[in-house]
Amino acid sequence: MNATLAFPVPFKSRFSGLIESSHVQDGVFAALILASRIPANLGMTGGLICLVLTGIYGALRVRQSRDLLSRCWLQLSFPIFALLSVTWAVYPMVTLRASVQMTLTAFAGLLLSQTPRPRAVLVGLFVAYAGYTVASLIVGHSRPEGIDGTLSLYGLGGEAKNYFADTSGTAVLLALTMLAACIERRAFALATLSATVIAACGLATVRAHSAGATSALLLASMLLSVLLLFRGCSSGSKLIFAAVLGGAMIICVIFFQPILALVQELSAKDSGLTGRGYLWYRGDFIIAERPWLGVGYFGFWTPENPDAIGLWRYFDVRQEGTAFSFHNSYIQTLVETGRIGLGVMVMCWIIGITALLRRFVLTPSLPTCFWLGYIALQLSKSPVEPIRPSALIAPTIMLFAGLGFGFFPVGRNRHQFGTASRRLSSSRSMASSDIPLLSDMSSEEIRLIAPAIRM
């Protein structure tokens, strides 16, 4: 054995190796990009930080950026349509600014979806979402929300209850995924920590008093649990389950209203969904004026629009801004981009979900299970919340990351990887020590097996 192997590696060398590790870089960039958009009080400063981090990450991962464009170009259909809507928009400058920002936001999500180390991304997301949610729960800021003035927990960044409940619900799904990964690796101490985070983030979601978010989390967490149980089964069994799951998305929509009604009753919500009924009523009239192309992406909720001002006055919104919405993904999209835009958006969703289901059938991928659960969380809220691509917000980054991950290659270099693994196993059995005989392997085999050695 080479005598140099007996000397301990200096701390500086270990630290440098950690910083240079692609796993660490992917996790850190994922955490920082999302953390810059979770707190509402970061405002445009946070948006600028997000774009700068995305630019740096893309520059460091040039090949990954090329893969994004070649694999996920279909998911850019709606951002491109939003950019085109500038040509017929009522307020073209508003639409131009928002559509450019939304396209860059979509790029950030798709870039994260194509990392060769998807589990590292999930760890980074877990740190960002769970850390923020637990910190918000500990601080415990609350304020009156809704027509009845119910005290609702909100985040450290001051975001509204529905947005914070989306953050805490996402943290629950990430913690559930981490729990499965820890149990798989027999890291029971970390598994206990993950279970504690699940309880804390679940409590934060309930205390936010968002009926839609709570209902969606119940459905998504159950779906994710089943996906995690099935992921180790044979491809045939998962194919049958995937066929059932395809219909489960429809079932989630069908059963969403009864579950929502139950949550409303338990949380003393009003039957009018805090004024959504009137919003949807007014939305129908606005859609009828421009049914096919709409008013332009993000072109309705602007202080220049008298219809928007009228609704702000009706709901006693003291600070006019674009944060207000129709609280319905499909009405909001119909108003802004019309029937054609809605068709493009739904087509992208269907294609992305189908690609994820294919990955679920062909691989025992833990990230695939999480992204299916996350998309179920978002789409099950779509009848009562504006779940659609928006500019510089964390849910849009996550949505595109999930939809894009379905296009991540399945079984890449599987045959070569298996050959190299068997060669390494054979080398270990012939060696007189635990050090693998890497000198017996070709440079190509070492490159292929390196990820397994690091794990």
Q: Is residue 287 in some structural domain?
A: yes
pLDDT at 108: 97
The interaxial angle of helices 118-139 and 161-184, nearest 10 deg, is: 130
Instruction: Copy the structure tokens of residue 412.
Output: 């890449």
For the entire predicted model, the pTM comes to 0.85
Confidence bin at 253 (pLDDT 50/70/90): low
pLDDT at 272: 52
The parent domain of residue 448 ranges over 416-454
More confidently predicted of 104 and 241: 104
Q: Is residue 393 in some structural domain?
A: yes
| Residues 287 and 210 grouped into a single domain | yes
| Residues 244 and 355 grouped into a single domain | yes
Whether the predicted pLDDT of 168 surpasses 50: yes
Whether the predicted pLDDT of 326 surpasses 60: yes
Whether the predicted pLDDT of 433 surpasses 50: no
More confidently predicted of 253 and 68: 68
Look at the chain and report how many structural domains it folds into: 2
Q: Is residue 316 in some structural domain?
A: yes
Percentage of the chain modeled with pLDDT above 70: 77
Point out the least confidently predicted range of 38-42, 105-109, 255-259, 416-420.
Answer: 416-420
Q: Is residue 166 in some structural domain?
A: yes
Distance between CA 172 and CA 178 in Å, rounded?
10
Q: Is residue 411 in some structural domain?
A: no
More confidently predicted of 3 and 79: 79
Q: What is the mean pLDDT of residues 335-356?
A: 96
Q: Is residue 6 in some structural domain?
A: no
pLDDT at 445: 41
| Residues 38 and 95 grouped into a single domain | yes
* Residue of 454, 404, 443, 432 whose CA lies nearest to 115: 404
| Residues 193 and 151 grouped into a single domain | yes
More confidently predicted of 186 and 314: 186
pLDDT at 265: 59
The interaxial angle of helices 394-405 and 92-113, nearest 10 deg, is: 50
Instruction: Copy the structure tokens of residue 49.
Output: 């930080």
